[in-house]
Homo-oligomer: A and B are copies of this chain.
Amino acid sequence: MARGRRPTEEVRRDVLAAAGELLLAEGVRGFTVEEVARRSGASKMTIYKLWPSKGTLALEGYFTTVESALEFPDTGDVEADLRHQLHAFVSLLTATKAGPTMAELIGLAQTDPELRAAFLRTYSSPRRKLAVQRMEKALAEGQLRDGLDPESVVDQLWGACYHRLLIPDLPIDHAFADTLIDNLFNGINRPVSRRRPGASRPR
């Protein structure tokens, strides 16, 4: 089917959208360049010219597709904004094929150095950066404790969900998302005012 020449940026966008939708719908096993070509109207040759490997295409398509769903709001209240985004992440993991797809990709990445590098570069590192940027703004506004390392919060919110995704002793659900936020914003120890004499206190 001759569509005439489309600008490369338009082709890129269509291919990425098709790739992300395909991955979310069919998972890793159903992801083929043939099907991405069919859905996007681009030729396989064009796709291979723009993406070095199927893995890179899948990851970049996935990142693009989930980007708007995983955006960080900025209402001025960092606790509310992180909570909102974490719930969106939990919905994505549990209500679409994103959960099993991510689990399988991360699993394969443990014994495939190229896939691991692509995953870090194309997906996890840019997503980490978006979370850190939102927290850095809150730090500058005095909403978070001075000296807080925002990277560590990424591991204790989204990382805690990945832990349950990859080692599924317990389920991921919305109550879990709230608990993770509460633990960090309220602290897990007994409030100072109600603490008994002699018990340890926060430093």
Q: Which residues of A contact B (CB under 8 A)?
A: 77-80, 103-104, 106-111, 116, 119-120, 124-125, 128, 142-146, 148-149, 151-153, 155-156, 158-164, 166-170, 176, 179-180, 182-191, 196, 199-200, 202-203
Contacts and interface: CB of A to CB of B under 8 A. Distances in A.
A67 to B, nearest CB: 18
A111 B104 contact: yes
A78 B169 contact: no
A156 B156 CA distance: 5
A182 B152 CA distance: 10
| 8 cross-chain pairs, A with B, having the tightest CB-CB distances, nearest first | A107-B110, A159-B163, A187-B187, A155-B160, A156-B156, A107-B107, A152-B179, A77-B200
A190 B145 contact: yes
Contacts of A179: 149, 152
B109 A143 contact: no
A162 B188 CA distance: 21
Contacts of A200: 77-80, 143
Given A110-B103, A125-B169, A169-B128, A159 B152 contact: no
B155 A164 contact: yes
A186 B106 contact: no
Nearest to A172: B155
A156 B185 contact: no
